[in-house]
Amino acid sequence: MDSYSFKITGGKPLKGHVNVSGSKNAVLGILAASMMIDGTCTLENVPDISDVHVMVKICESIGAKIETSLSPDGSVTLQIDPRGINTYEATGAGVSKIRASYYLLGALLGRCGKASLRMPGGCDFGQRPIDLHLKAFRQMGARGADYRNLNGGIISLHADPLRGAKIFLDIVSVGATINVMLAAAKAQGKTTIVNAAKEPHIVDVANFLNAMGARIKGAGTDTINIVGVPSLPGNFTYSIIPDQIETGTYMIAAAVTGGDVTIHNIIPTHMDPLSSKMREMGYIIEEGDDFLRVYKDPEEEIWGTNVKTAPYPGFPTDLQPQTVVLLCLSQGQSKMDEDVWENRYQYVPELSRMGANISIFGHFALINGIDKFNAAQVRATDLRAGAALVCAALAADGTSYIDEARRIDRGYEKIVDKLKSLGADIEVTESTGYFVDKEA
Ligand code: EPZ
């Protein structure tokens, strides 16, 4: 089924234990990085999500061999052999389905000094430029595409050779940080990235590159140093870190349903920005080495608060929609300040259909607390918006339908099974057709 919906009958507290999968935003950069290996590698704890399926197909389209197998714990393992890569062009339709395909620019420039790529796709939050990527590649000696003129959507670059440079990112960018690390891994000389992004997935990509044989230091800080090497032998096994955003989504789903859920296979410190806000609101978050438990004291009132999104270790923008749902079900007035993306409130009209009381002023959302959401027919406008609507539907009394649910499956492995295991009444159904002809 291409277009399908989630049918959710809410009002039941989520209870029990759930395991988090590997990080979407780490594995997509790591898959691109693996295309630079002069040998093979094995990737473990790969999330079984559609963005990974798309990225694997793109890698296979340029000649890589990727075999998928299931580990005893049910997680996906990939055997990757990029030695058959026979082109520097990735211009197939799949490239425009996801944003992360642009990591192949850095990977192919690093591998063969050339890259030609169709403009990437991804969630629509308004402007999603790639000028920082192209300016950085130009500083490293790449010529061709100019961010001011993207030549009908195909980005072609060549560098002979790619040289290390000092790259100052005037905006903290996850994608540009990863793309420069990829290109710099095999560039001649040293590259320094100043004002680098510090997200957990940046560190994971850097650790993977070092396992490949790269020489990267400082990932996780705002200055990353990369000394280029002539080859990346590979021949190793690597396990993807747990998904910070999936973890936060289950924390919020547990909270808004008044449940008691323990979330396993995580790195609790990655959740600090959300955990501290939820504790401030009145929720109880207990932490272990690789798990945390979310519940609340039935006598405790939950109060709203103010949240501002920012690059890590600030509050993750990818938890902004889900957190607005949490703030809707709290006392008083709350404020969300979306400071990373120019237009990431497109889900608000859908939430309003469920009874939310939210006013948008530019990048601010003013949220007035309500007692309950009403069940409704809504549409997932993008991946995290869809996740937010799932949380709202789980909290609402009655049956909701969420159209375009395939957008949610882009980034959440087995979300229906995982929620069912926590007691949720959720199933996949045909699209309600309620939003016919809406833009895809
Ligand atoms: C990554 O997108 C994530 N996607 C996004 O997650 C996430 O929202 C974002 O980082 C911020 O954390 C993947 O990792 C696949 P950016 P990316 O470059 O790399 C501006 C999800 O839900 N910018 O850090 O595209 C940009 O407009 C997705 O999993 C430029 O101006 O984000 C934005 O305002 C959604 N020029 C800011 O920087 C550029 O060349 C941060 O963007 C690049 C970015």
Q: Which of 26, 95, 112, 25 is nearest to 57 (CA)?
A: 95
The residue to mutate among 173, 182, 408, having the most atoms of ligand 1 within 8 angstroms of its beta carbon, is 173
Q: Is 97 in the pocket of ligand 1 (CB under 6 A)?
A: no
pLDDT computed for residue 92 by the predictor: 83
Fold of 24-239: UDP-n-acetylglucosamine1-carboxyvinyl-transferase; Chain (3.65.10)
In this structure, the residue with its CA closest to atom 17 of ligand 1 is 175
pLDDT for the residue 440: 46
Fold matches, 4-21+242-439 and 24-239: yes
The CATH number of domain 4-21+242-439 is 3.65.10.10: yes
Instruction: Report the atom number in ligand 1 closest to the C-alpha of 128.
Output: 27
Q: Is the CB–ligand 1 distance for residue 25 below 6 Å?
A: yes
Residues designated catalytic:
123
Position 403 pLDDT exceeds 70: yes
**For the chain, domain boundaries:** 4-21+242-439, 24-239
Per-residue pLDDT reduced to its tens digit, 240-253: 999 999 999 999 99
**With DSSP H G I counted as helix, E B as strand and the rest as coil, what are the percentages for the chain, rounded to 5?**
35, 30, 35
How far, in Å, from the CA of 342 to the mean position of ligand 1?
Answer: 11
Separation of 61 CA from ligand 1 center, angstroms? Answer: 25
Residue 173 Cβ < 6 Å to ligand 1: yes
Using the mean position of ligand 1's atoms as its centre, give its distance from the Cα of residue 340 in Å: 8
Q: Is the peptide bond before 200 cis (omega within 30 degrees of 0)?
A: no
Q: Which amino acid is at 34?
A: S
Average pLDDT score over residue span 36-57: 97
Rounded to whole angstroms, the Cα distance separating 34 from 64 reads 10
| Whole-angstrom distance, CA of residue 296 vs CA of residue 279 | 10
**pLDDT of res. 97:** 85
Share of the chain above pLDDT 90, in %: 87
Please give the distance, rounded to the nearest whole angstrom, from the Cα atom of residue 134 to the centre of ligand 1.
Answer: 15
Distance of alpha carbon 98 from alpha carbon 217, whole angstroms? 28
Q: Residue 437 above 60 pLDDT? A: no
Is the C-beta atom of 171 inside 6 A of ligand 1? yes
pTM for the full model? 0.96
The 10s digit of each residue's pLDDT in 304-327 is 999 999 999 999 999 999 999 999
Q: How many CA atoms lie within 13 A of 156 on its CB side?
A: 7
218: left (phi over 0), alpha (psi -120 to 50) or beta: left
Query: Where does the pLDDT of residue 151 fall: very low under 50, low under 70, confident under 90, or very high at 90 and above?
Result: low
Atom of ligand 1 nearest to the CA of 175: 19
- Cα 424 to Cα 431: distance, rounded to the nearest angstrom: 20
Cβ pair 422, 295 in contact under 8 A: no
